[in-house]
Structure 1
Amino acid sequence: MRIAVIGTGGVGGFFGIKLADAGGDVTFLARGTHLSAMQKKGLSLVGPKGEIRLTDVIASDKLVDLGPIDVALFCVKLYDTEEVGRELAPALSENGYVISLQNGVEAAERLGPILGKNRVCVGNAFMSAKIAEPGVVRYTSDMSTMEIGEVGGGHSPRLNAFAERCNKAGFTALVADDIEAKLWSKFVLLSTNAAITTAFRQPCGPLYRNQEIRDLARDAMAEVVAVGRAKGVNVDEGAIERAMGLLDTFPDDMYASMYHDLARGGRLEVGSLSGTVYKLGKELGVPTPIHRTLYLSLLPYENGVP
């Protein structure tokens, strides 16, 4: 089983390094100084449980160099989905498939027409990691779980086999019966927190200690749940309370990653987060005034700081 990490940032880097360290055949797509460091010095994972160092790394900025790929862990930014998807298509093996671990809820709809619906699976990643410096990925907690599923629901031999490999590599991989519901449950928190911390340019601590901001976040989450249910997704009853509880576990100085993209003048994923909530709500007749306002407030920066 040749596994390719498509986008070697925090998420892709963590899972890819763990799989490679356990003996897996893993290759990495990366760019810039991160790629150069990987090719010259290897790739390291550092964190509370110590360090893993891969010295013999197959890494490239061209997917054709990494094929034929049996399983592609698709971890690129949402705005690069179609471009990278088109490049990936000819690099997949005959029975190769993709597991998108991206943010958002539209990966299957966007990748399906490019790769073929039967080649696309989706999932959530629950962990905290980032590129600490070129060639080094740092994780900051013991939580490391991947939740994956077939787009149509149910288990499959291919995902069960991949999950077994992941569990042997030292992190948890779960195959969900209804992955779309799981994606939307995470999206309730993800889309809301990303937009609020970025639009207000403030970290979680001072924001969510303010009762009016907490109420705003709760109402924004309710918009996401309403849109998901209008779309036919079985978003569970406890999604909002669970998300609000998680907000209280975040460090006071934590920002969503989208804020850091804004701060460095980079492109934003807002169009696929609050923008998706607003646009789907408009199509389905569900009012989303909070996500509409958050989306429009960040829209001028979507392609980078003007």
Structure 2
Amino acid sequence: MAKVAIVGSGAMGSVYAGLMVSAGHEVHAISLWPDHVAAMQENGLRVEGASGDRTVPIHASTTTAGIGVCDLVIIATKAFDVEAAARSCEQLLGPNSVVQTIQNGLGSAEKAAAILGENRIAVGVVGGFGASIRAPGHAHHNGMEMIRFGAYRGLPKEDLEQSAEIWRSSGFKVAIFDDIDRMVWEKLIMNVAFSGTTCATGMTIGEVMGNPNAWSVAKGAAEEAIAVAKAAGIHLDVADPIEHIRKLGSKIPNARPSMLLDYNLRRRGEVDAINGSISREGRKYGVPTPVNDTVVGIIKAREAGFTD
């Protein structure tokens, strides 16, 4: 049994937590949403969907205080909350603790490493789950794809492997990558295609793929990301990246990416970390990114006036 803290137990974090508790691990779910925490404390955490339907007892709180040293700390917050989350994790770390950052977009591992140390950090990439919160204390997910991890800088391989085994024991498929840039960018092109486009249109992933106008935006955004990756010297190990995106999207046609879910709840989304990262990297390498620039502008205009 491992002791795990999941900092940022929203939709995806709750799926991780529920399956890990089912496997016998001691899991602490940390969320800043008081109603979600109260529901988990009172009734347990319900996770249903592709993995089945279970309700598990869980340690839930709005703070990391009093939890103590953990074997594994998973930072599953939004990208813009990673620095604050990393600071809250300092008291959870012992000599062999591993911290896994699992965010959309670029830059989260760097932020966490600056606070917690490069030799503690594993970079995680997750896709194909299509998770959402149905009600406080109740998470749903549409799929269950592979979890990918790689050591950031200096994390011992044996520590990375031990942390991955916690996931495997909980029913997740796990792959370890040496090339974390490739790993992150292969997920990023998928996010770039669907996150901004679904948010801007209100469509599901399947609806975007089935609508010629929406798909032209998604495809254009992805093509820009692929061009930026090439300019940055990043090798994408997929024969046809656009077909790769369509294949992954077809597995979760009813999914609404988190950026759309956040918009529907009038909350700030991660467009800066996803489509915005392509615009920033494009400027760095001299690659035009008009589709992503436009998607970012539309979504930020729509979010104007939202509270964080």
Are positions 1:293 and 2:294 aligned together? yes
Residue 206 of structure 1 and its aligned partner are, at CA, apart by: 4.3
Residue 90 of structure 1 and its aligned partner are, at CA, apart by: 3.1
1:122-150 Cα shifts (integer Å, max 9, x gaps): 11123233222211222333x24311111
Farther-moved stretch of structure 1 (171-180 vs 232-241): 232-241
Q: TM-score, normalised by structure 2?
A: 0.89
The residue aligned with 2:178 is 177
User: In structure 1, what is the Cα distance between the partners aligned to 2:252 and 2:55?
Assistant: 29
- Where 2:244 maps in the other structure, the secondary structure is helix
In structure 2, relative to structure 1, the CA distance for the partners of 1:154 and 1:214 (3 Å cut) is: farther
Please list, as runs of the form range in 1=range in 2, the aligned pairs for 1:95-106 lying within 5 A after superposition.
95-106=96-107
Residue 48 of structure 1 and its aligned partner are, at CA, apart by: 5.0
Aligned residues: 303
User: In structure 2, what is the Cα distance between the partners aligned to 1:49 and 1:99?
Assistant: 22
The residue aligned with 1:167 is 168
Q: TM-score, normalised by structure 1?
A: 0.89
Are positions 1:246 and 2:248 aligned together? yes
User: In structure 2, what is the Cα distance between the partners aligned to 1:50 and 1:209?
Assistant: 28
Task: Report if aligned partners of 1:267, 1:304 keep a CA contact under 8 Å in 2.
Answer: no
- Structure 2 gap ranges (5+): none
Residue 200 of structure 1 and its aligned partner are, at CA, apart by: 2.6
User: In structure 2, what is the Cα distance between the partners aligned to 1:104 and 1:65?
Assistant: 31
Residue 250 of structure 1 and its aligned partner are, at CA, apart by: 4.0
Task: Report if aligned partners of 1:270, 1:295 keep a CA contact under 8 Å in 2.
Answer: yes
The residue aligned with 1:269 is 270
- Where 1:202 maps in the other structure, the secondary structure is coil
Residue 70 of structure 1 and its aligned partner are, at CA, apart by: 2.5
Please list, as runs of the form range in 1=range in 2, the aligned pairs for 1:148-297 lying within 5 A after superposition.
148-152=149-153, 156-236=157-237, 237-251=239-253, 254-297=255-298
1:57-90 Cα shifts (integer Å, max 9, x gaps): 2221111232212211111111211111122223
User: In structure 1, what is the Cα distance between the partners aligned to 2:50 and 2:280?
Assistant: 41
Residue 153 of structure 1 and its aligned partner are, at CA, apart by: 9.4
The residue aligned with 1:46 is 48
User: In structure 1, what is the Cα distance between the partners aligned to 2:297 and 2:50?
Assistant: 39
Q: Which residue identity does 1:276 align to in structure 2?
A: S
In structure 2, relative to structure 1, the CA distance for the partners of 1:161 and 1:231 (3 Å cut) is: same
The residue aligned with 2:109 is 108
**1:32 counterpart (1, 22, 34):** 34
Task: Report if aligned partners of 2:197, 2:217 keep a CA contact under 8 Å in 1.
Answer: no
Residue 40 of structure 1 and its aligned partner are, at CA, apart by: 1.6
In structure 2, relative to structure 1, the CA distance for the partners of 1:54 and 1:123 (3 Å cut) is: same
Farther-moved stretch of structure 1 (178-187 vs 128-137): 128-137
Q: Which residue identity does 2:107 align to in structure 1?
A: E
